[in-house]
Amino acid sequence: MTNSEKNRLKDKAFQVFGVFCTFIGLVILAVFLFDIAIEGFSRIDWDFLTSLPSRRASRAGILTAWAGTLWILVLTAIIAFPLGVGAGIYLEEYSRKNRWTNFLEINIANLAGVPSIIYGLLGLEVFVRQMRLGGSLLAGALTLSLLILPIIIVTTREAIKAVPRSVRDGSFALGASKWQTVWNQVLPASFGGILTGIILSLSRAVGEAAPLIVIGALAYVPFTPATPLDEFTVLPIQIFNWTSRPQEAFLTNAAGAIIVLLAITFLLNGIAVYLRNRQQKKIKW
């Protein structure tokens, strides 16, 4: 065997390995989706989406749960987006590299690894008790915002870093101020990456049950929230509650609720991909 044949063989082997790696995740996801779909699809109908929780599995619905999840999503996005992107811009564009910013950076990276229930405990003390928000949507959204801020900050910084130095230099050369450069050049160019980070982190937030249970999100709520100060429940709590019931029929309900939760997540991701593609088309250097 010649050297080039050997290399070609290695190349082929690595390609097969790569395909294998790609598929392992996809296959597991497919099996999971298939399993849930078989169990849950028959359960989803208009009544399921518009009914209140009930002790009878066949009459129970997820109206208050999905309404709560949507509220939480929107509020969390509104709170976390400006804070996270602002912090990212500061750290990347304005701050000087010194020991203090190093310290900040390390801590933000560490925060991304803190278990979510710890954020729940923090939220309980600060938002629920000190700020007297009670177990409200606002307290829940603030808690989840804290949870996802580190991810947003890190991805924002990465996206800003990816904007070429020459774009900034060009902007400055034309007499633009720092703020004008950031606002008119850097942010639009990095917006796709920032958006991806926000959507990924919101997808994480939408699946959280533990921190919300800690701050006092409920399981049985017979009304849909009307203001951010109302009490609430979310889909993951309803799912968690149903899967721990002894009766088999509640497991089917849980599968149905999981499908709805997945649909919400997919919808979000879809919107993000659409916005990102549209944004990227606009950028021409």
Partner 1 sequence: MLNLRLNYFKINAALLLGGTLLFSACGGSTTEGANSDLSGNIQIDGSSTVYPITEAVAEDFREEAPNVRVTVGVSGTGGGMKKFSRGEIDIVDASRTMNDSEKQLAAENNITFVELPVAYDGLTVVVHPENDWVNDITVAELKKIWEPAAQGTITRWNQIRPEWPDQEIHLYGAGVESGTYDYFTEAIVGESHASRGDYTASEDDNVLVQGVSTDPYALGFFGYAYYDENQDKLKAVPVNDENDSNGQGAILPSLETVKDGSYAPLSRPLYIYVNSRAASRPEVVEFVNFYLDNAAELGEEVGYIPMPAEIYEEQKQKFEQFSSGANATTQQQ
Report the interface residues with partner 1, using CB under 8 A: 52-55, 135, 213-214, 216-223, 231, 237, 241, 243-248
For the record, the structure tokens of 104 come out as 């900040």
In the bound state with partner 1, the residue whose beta carbon lies nearer, of 213 and 235, is 213
CB 140 to partner 1: min, Å: 12
CB 43 to partner 1: min, Å: 18
Give the residue carrying structure tokens 């989706």: 33
In the bound state with partner 1, the residue whose beta carbon lies nearer, of 51 and 279, is 51
Closest alpha carbon to 108 in 60, 66, 68, 157: 157
- What are the backbone dihedrals phi and psi of residue 176, each rounded to the nearest 5 degrees, phi first? -75, 150
Give the residue carrying structure tokens 């190349």: 11
The helix or strand, by DSSP H or E, that contains position 54, with its residue range, turns out to be: none
CB 228 to partner 1: min, Å: 16
CB 213 to partner 1: min, Å: 6
CB 129 to partner 1: min, Å: 9
In the bound state with partner 1, the residue whose beta carbon lies nearer, of 64 and 171, is 64
Burial of 53 (0-12, 13-18, 19+ CB in 10 A): buried
In the bound state with partner 1, the residue whose beta carbon lies nearer, of 179 and 220, is 220
Q: CB–CB of 265/99 below 8 Å?
A: no
Rg (CA), the chain: 23
The three-class DSSP label of residue 231 is: strand
In the bound state with partner 1, the residue whose beta carbon lies nearer, of 197 and 216, is 216
Q: CB–CB of 121/147 below 8 Å?
A: no
In the bound state with partner 1, the residue whose beta carbon lies nearer, of 171 and 233, is 233
Q: Which amino acid is at 114?
A: V
CB 59 to partner 1: min, Å: 9
**69/48 Cα distance (integer angstroms):** 16
